Amino acid sequence: MITDTIKRFVGQLFNPKKQGVQHIGREKHGIDRRNVSRHAIKVCEVLQHEGYQAYIVGGAVRDLIVGLEPKDFDVATNATPEQVRALFRRARIIGRRFQLVHVVFGQEIIETSTFRAPASETQSTDDHGRILRDNEFGTHEQDAVRRDFTINALYYDPTSEQVIDYHQGVDDLKKRVVRMIGDPATRYREDPVRMLRAVRFAVKLNGTIDPASKEPLLSMAGLIENVPSSRLFDEMLKLLTCGHAMDCLQQLRQDGLHHGMLPLLDVVLEQPGGEEFIELALDRTDHRVRSGKTVSPSFLFAALLWQEVDLQWKKLIKQGETGIPGLMQAADAVLEKQTKTLAIQKRFSSDMREIWFMQPRFDKRLPKSIWRMLEQPRFRAAVDFLQLRAAAGQFDSVLAQWWMDLANADDDTRATMLDDLSKLPREGSGTGPRPRTRKRRTGPPRVPVDHGNAPTI
């Protein structure tokens, strides 16, 4: 018996992953409660007051420990979705695969989930092992086992200001190691999106993926194709707006995970100037994210797919298709091919088209058409896109700056700029001032002629 006790002690000493739960104080985890969402704290306090367990969990805790500003805050509790909803005036249950509660505080939503039990044979899965429906509730410890990576299985109690750590995630976080909880191959089959998340977390933390967690990635990359296109779009958007988008894409290609996400990406990057254009787009996106500014998904995907749209458009022009109709055909073809895998929402694809279709209109500066362009809701986004094209050498930089100055100007300044433009030689038509436009009739309005049943105006 003594020998067995010594063996267990030595095993725990040299294999910390088998140690029990740790309650880590503020002096070690370093989270400042003032940086935690007051609404997330409120949700925890209300649930705890009613006798439930409640903790801030996951990515928010991870980011707070490493000094990053969380994008959102999630709460985990042993209360059921119905019990959570009953405690808050503005709360709704969502989700099919597993139910969650969205507790709404103005513009902020605190996503609240019930502790979940480990995967079992009774759970619904597809032929590849991906879990389709998962509403089996469990204990706090079981919920920690269900989390994907050790760095995400961290629970922060805003009342005691302790971090509860079942899998030594704080140690992994300080070492910048992304480690899967459980058997990596099994966990990737349960949810192939975890492979993409592993890459994103490693790049975002400037860390590495644990060798055992990285080894199955290449052989299991094909499972990405079984993920619903809408969920894949959400994960792709997170990856592109994490502040390290280009590094993530390069790592995905290196690990063989890019297939099934952006099928046209490899084609684009292999085109002359294609990689430069995407690097410019993603670099500007990263700078906006790091400075706390918002990023438009429409603009981002318009930039990623523009090279292929432009290539298809030029081919159609050589075949005799006219300008704008050819661009429309090219856009439709590229989006149709892309959305089979990535469910780009209609509102985004509609905005992307508007941004693309406005590009040829920047070639000629005609005052009348410019006033109409200024009324378009996506005019500013289209001008920003034009700056990107100019930076990549696809458009005259001086002319692009004129459009940017116009977009930034007030109405009076715009009127002056367009009046000055009307005095210049017509672009592309030789020298000499622009012909004066005929003034509108200033006399009394004409009396409409009565044509029987025809309505008068």
Q: Are 173 and 60 within 8 A, CB to CB? A: no
By DSSP bridging, strand 177-178 and strand 208-209 are: parallel
Amino acid 435: pLDDT: 46
Domains (range + CATH), the chain:
16-227 (3.30.460.10), 233-426 (1.10.3090.10)
**What distance in Å separates the CA atoms of residue 233 and residue 11, rounded to the nearest whole number?**
44
Mean pLDDT over the full length of the chain = 84
Q: Which residues contact 329 (CB under 8 A, 6 or more apart)?
A: 312, 313, 316, 321
Q: Tell me if 405 sits within 8 A of 419, measured CB to CB.
A: no
**How many of the other CB atoms lie within 10 Å of CB of 74?**
20
pLDDT in tens, 20-36: 799 999 999 999 999 99
Q: What is the mean pLDDT of residues 126-133?
A: 52
- Least confident range of 44-48, 204-208, 319-323: 319-323
| C-alpha triplet 233, 234, 240: angle, nearest 5° | 85
Instruction: Report phi then psi at 16, rounded to 5.
Output: -60, -20
Instruction: State the residue for tokens 């370093």.
Output: 30
- Say yes or no to pLDDT of 142 above 90: yes
Percent pLDDT > 70 in the chain is: 81
* pLDDT bucket at 251, cuts 50 / 70 / 90: confident
**At 444, is the pLDDT very low, low, confident or very high (cuts 50, 70, 90)?**
very low
On the question of pLDDT at 434 being above 70, the answer is no
User: Is the pLDDT score of 4 beyond 90?
Assistant: no
Cα 356 from chain centroid (whole Å): 21
Amino acid code (one letter) for 449:
V
Residue whose structure tokens are 């979940």: 116
The model's pLDDT over 390-420, given as tens digits with 9 standing for 90+, comes to 999 999 999 999 999 999 999 999 999 999 9
What's the pLDDT at 9?
38
- DSSP reduced 3-state for 233: helix
pLDDT digits (tens, 9 = 90+) for 323-370: 888 999 999 998 988 777 777 888 899 999 999 999 999 998 988 899
> What is the tens place of the pLDDT at every residue in 64-104?
999 988 989 999 999 999 999 999 999 999 987 788 999 99
Specify whether the CB–CB gap between 400 and 389 falls below 8 A: yes
Q: For residue 242, what are its two tokens? A: 């994490």
Higher local confidence (pLDDT), 439 or 233: 233
For residues 376-398, average pLDDT: 94
Distances in whole angstroms, Cα of residue 161 to Cα of each of 27, 140, 165, 219: 10, 17, 13, 42
308: confidence class by pLDDT, cuts 50, 70, 90: confident
How confident is residue 125, by pLDDT bands cut at 50, 70 and 90? Answer: low
**What is d(CA 171, CA 165) in angstroms, rounded to the nearest whole number?**
10
Q: Residues with Cβ < 8 Å from 1, sequence gap 6 or more?
A: none
**Judging by beta carbons within 10 Å of its beta carbon (0-12, 13-18, 19+), is residue 261 exposed, middle or buried?**
buried
Compute the distance between CA of residue 302 and CA of residue 344 in angstroms, rounded to an integer.
Answer: 11
- pLDDT at residue 268, as a whole number: 62
Residue 438: both structure tokens together: 């005929």
Please answer whether residues 38 and 46 qualify as being in contact, where contact means their C-beta atoms are separated by less than 8 angstroms: no
pLDDT of residue 187: 93
Residue 5: pLDDT over 60: no
Q: What are phi and psi of 11, to 5 degrees?
A: -60, -40
Q: Is the pLDDT of residue 48 over 50?
A: yes
> Is residue 359 within 8 Å of 389, Cβ to Cβ?
yes
pLDDT (0 to 100) of residue 256: 76
Distance in angstroms (rounded) separating the CA atoms of residues 392 and 302: 15
Half-sphere exposure of 443 (CA within 13 A, CB side): 2
Task: For residue 421, give every residue at least 6 positions away whose Cβ sits within 8 Å of its Cβ, in sequence order, or none.
Answer: 365, 367, 370
Closest CA to 239 of 258, 220, 264: 258
Q: Residues 93-115: pLDDT tens digits?
A: 998 778 899 999 999 999 999 99
Q: Position of tokens 């981002």?
A: 300
What does the pLDDT average to over 187-209?
92
- The label of the residue with tokens 């390069």 reads 250
Is 11 or 347 the better-scoring residue by pLDDT?
A: 347
pLDDT for 185 equals 94
| Residues that are catalytic | 72, 74, 148
Helix boundaries (H) for 110-264: 140-146, 169-175, 184-190, 193-204, 211-214, 217-220, 229-240, 245-255
26 within 8 A of 20, measured Cβ to Cβ: no
CB 9 within 8 A of CB 129: no
- Tell me the average pLDDT across 288-299: 87
Instruction: Please state whether the predicted TM-score (pTM) of the whole model is above 0.95.
Output: no
Enumerate residues 6+ apart whose C-beta is below 8 A from 198.
149, 178, 180, 209, 213, 214, 217
